[in-house]
Amino acid sequence: MAINKQIANAIKKSLLKFDFSKITEKCTNEAQTRLYLIEPIIEVLGFSRIDDMLTEINAGWGAKNDKADVGLIVKDKKNPEIIVECKTYGKKLTDKEASQLNGYFINTKNSKIGILTNGLEWRFYAVNQATKSSSLFEIPFLVVDFSELNDDLFEKLSKFHRSSLINNLNELLEETQEFYFMQGFDNAFATELFEPSDNFIKAIFDRMDGKRMTDTVKDKLKSLINSNSIQTALAKVIEVESRSGNMVITTAEELKIYHTVKTILIHNKKIDSDRISYRDQKNSFNVLVDDNNKKIICKIISNRNKYSIEISGAKYDFNGIDSIVNLKKQLLESALSYIE
């Protein structure tokens, strides 16, 4: 489902007008969180409180006839396609709350997406179409956090704007099913290696230019598929990927520079060690605040085993640890600009 830049920009414009500090001060309970934070955000997503938003929906679940907090109407004029379960601002969201949302979802006709939120964190769940069940998957297909407003957030939210959902709801649902399907890859792959199927054995046999598959040959090949052979194969895969340039390999020298930079930074009392991390990417090794690629303290760049450090667009040659120490002022200024 393509991102609509126009919608994303409209969401950005609206959310940047929010004074979250003042709003969250009012959110001392669930009802206030829904009124002052959750429903206004839903309005930013194009849902009218009068025409498209239902509250206290009879979900027909439990002896107390519990009600879902909010239902959002996309196409159906009577039955909401999206169910929103609201919790008090800042409350930790757990499996217990997700199970509660699922209970409401199951008993709400025509619902397709469930949202669990405490106003700050929003978890999006989709119905499990693969099993023809009306229940939600146990893990969210998307989690967004309003503690930091950025373009990535606005673009993700644009898919859930009502004007976008009216035309693309089915496409979005197809994307969610693909997401959940792909989550099963690791388990399926591990199971295939642990209990190789005849087709898997045959594929290996063919790559070995085998002439005639017999039960004896099949059993021998099956016995060779174990942790030792998998580790040997993995080493070869890594070697091939490294030569082709399709794999990012973190070098000992990059880690040495990183730990030196981090040591310099955490001597400042304002900088918490846990907030400094790194991401190794294809073209650079980035030292970050809060593991956020938009908060880059510096970049470590390698070129034919020679290293340089880029801070706020300025490049400096790396000639040993002393050259990093000499950059203490620039490193601290860069880090503190994201922390203070």
Q: How far apart are CA 6 and CA 63, in angstroms?
A: 46
Query: How many domains would you assign to the chain?
Result: 3
Of 244, 260, 277, the position where a domain reaches its end is 244
Return phi, psi of residue 98, to 5°: -65, -40
Positive or negative: CA dihedral 133, 136, 138, 139 = positive
Inter-axis angle of helices 328-339 and 252-266, nearest 10: 70
DSSP helix, strand, coil percent of the chain (3-state; round to 5): 45, 20, 35
Q: Answer for the pair 82, 74: CB distance below 8 angstroms, yes or no.
A: yes
Write the pLDDT tens digit of every residue in 61-95. Answer: 555 567 888 999 998 777 899 999 999 998 889 88
Of 182, 207, 236, the position where a domain reaches its end is 182
Q: Are residues 74 and 195 in the same domain?
A: no
Q: Are residues 137 and 12 in the same domain?
A: yes
Q: Are residues 279 and 322 in the same domain?
A: yes
Q: Are residues 44 and 128 in the same domain?
A: yes
Q: How far apart are CA 108 and CA 115, in angstroms?
A: 13
Report the CATH number that the domain containing residue 11 is assigned in CATH.
Answer: 3.90.1570.30
Collect all residues with Cβ–Cβ distance below 8 Å to 93 and sequence separation of at least 6: 87, 116, 117, 118, 121, 123
Written as six digits, the tokens of 103 are 């209970």
Q: How far apart are CA 119 and CA 101, in angstroms?
A: 15
Q: Are residues 168 and 293 in the same domain?
A: no
Write the pLDDT tens digit of every residue in 25-59. Answer: 899 999 999 999 999 999 999 999 999 998 887 76
Written as six digits, the tokens of 116 are 């669990």
Q: Are residues 194 and 72 in the same domain?
A: no
Going residue by residue through the chain, which has 340 residues, state the pLDDT in tens, using 9 for 90 and above: 677 889 999 999 999 999 888 898 899 999 999 999 999 999 999 999 999 998 887 766 555 567 888 999 998 777 899 999 999 998 889 889 999 999 888 888 788 999 999 999 999 999 887 665 678 998 999 999 898 888 889 999 999 999 999 989 999 999 998 988 888 888 899 999 999 999 999 999 999 998 899 999 999 999 999 999 998 888 787 777 766 666 667 777 888 899 999 999 988 888 988 889 998 877 789 999 988 888 999 999 887 778 899 999 899 999 888 899 999 999 999 999 988 7
DSSP secondary structure letters along 39-77: HHHHHHTT--TTTTEEEEEEEEETTTTEEEEEEE-SS-S
Q: Are residues 79 and 198 in the same domain?
A: no
Q: Are residues 217 and 322 in the same domain?
A: no
Q: How far is C-alpha 15 from the geometric centre of its chain's CA atoms?
A: 21
Write the pLDDT tens digit of every residue in 214-238. Answer: 999 999 999 999 999 998 888 787 7
Structural domain range at position 207 = 190-244
Q: How far apart are CA 269 and CA 313, in angstroms?
A: 26
Of 244, 270, 289, the position where a domain reaches its end is 244
* DSSP reduced 3-state for 218: helix
Per the prediction, the chain carries an average pLDDT of 88
Q: Are residues 117 and 205 in the same domain?
A: no
Q: Are residues 156 and 196 in the same domain?
A: no
Q: Are residues 71 and 134 in the same domain?
A: yes
Q: Are residues 29 and 64 in the same domain?
A: yes
